[in-house]
Amino acid sequence: VTNGGKTTLAEKLKKILPNCDMISQDDFFKPESEVETDERGFKLYDVLDALYMDEMVKSIHNWMRSPASSGIVTEEPQNTGDNLKNTEDVYILIVEGFLLYNYEPLNELWNRRYFLTLPYEECKRRRSTRVYQPADTPGYFDGHVWPMYVKYKNELEENASNIVYLDGTKSQEELLSCVYTDIIQELKKLRE
């Protein structure tokens, strides 16, 4: 969901996990001139066609081919403790974005999937506090952003499995703890 805390959570995880890098879907938006406009004059940013998804997939595959040379700084992560011993040879890529699980070429790549949700009112409130370039036009949230979220979430629920749904109204600390704990469990499985 837009403004659900995806980037914040990903950035915090990147700081505390070893050998961790991040790719953000927002970095693959097409320029405004290439984004379609609907009959109401809304720029259709909340659809896959507004993104260079092939480029994103290439970036992920490039990282997967050579994670050690991807520019990751392999410094000691914060708050390590015993949880992360023997993970020096494991590299983690966090891919964050709002239309990741609806793009079939990416679905074979995920080890873990997390989906942040927000109720309509909270999402609208958060969205109204953000400044976008180009700026949201009046009615854009209700006329395009929220309906596209609902559409893609429904498609996701019908077609995808193994998704951990996270309540975006929880504190950043709670969300971080939940996902971090889950990733640590996955790392332990890799070591077995």
Q: Which residues are catalytic?
A: 26
Between the CA of residue 120 and those of 16, 22, 135, 152, 172, what are the distances in Å? Answer: 31, 28, 20, 15, 19
Confidence of residue 189 (pLDDT cuts 50, 70, 90): confident
- pLDDT tens sequence across 70-129: 665 444 444 444 555 555 678 999 999 999 998 999 988 998 999 999 999 999 999 999
CB atoms within 10 A of CB 118: 20
CATH of domain 6-67+90-190: 3.40.50.300
Distance of alpha carbon 163 from the chain centroid: 13
Tell me how far apart the terminal alpha carbons of the chain are, to the nearest angstrom.
35
- pLDDT tens sequence across 3-44: 999 999 999 999 999 889 999 999 999 999 999 999 999 999
Determine contact, residues 16/79, Cβ cutoff 8 Å. Answer: yes
pTM of the model: 0.87
Residue 127: in which H helix or E strand, if any?
Answer: helix 120-128
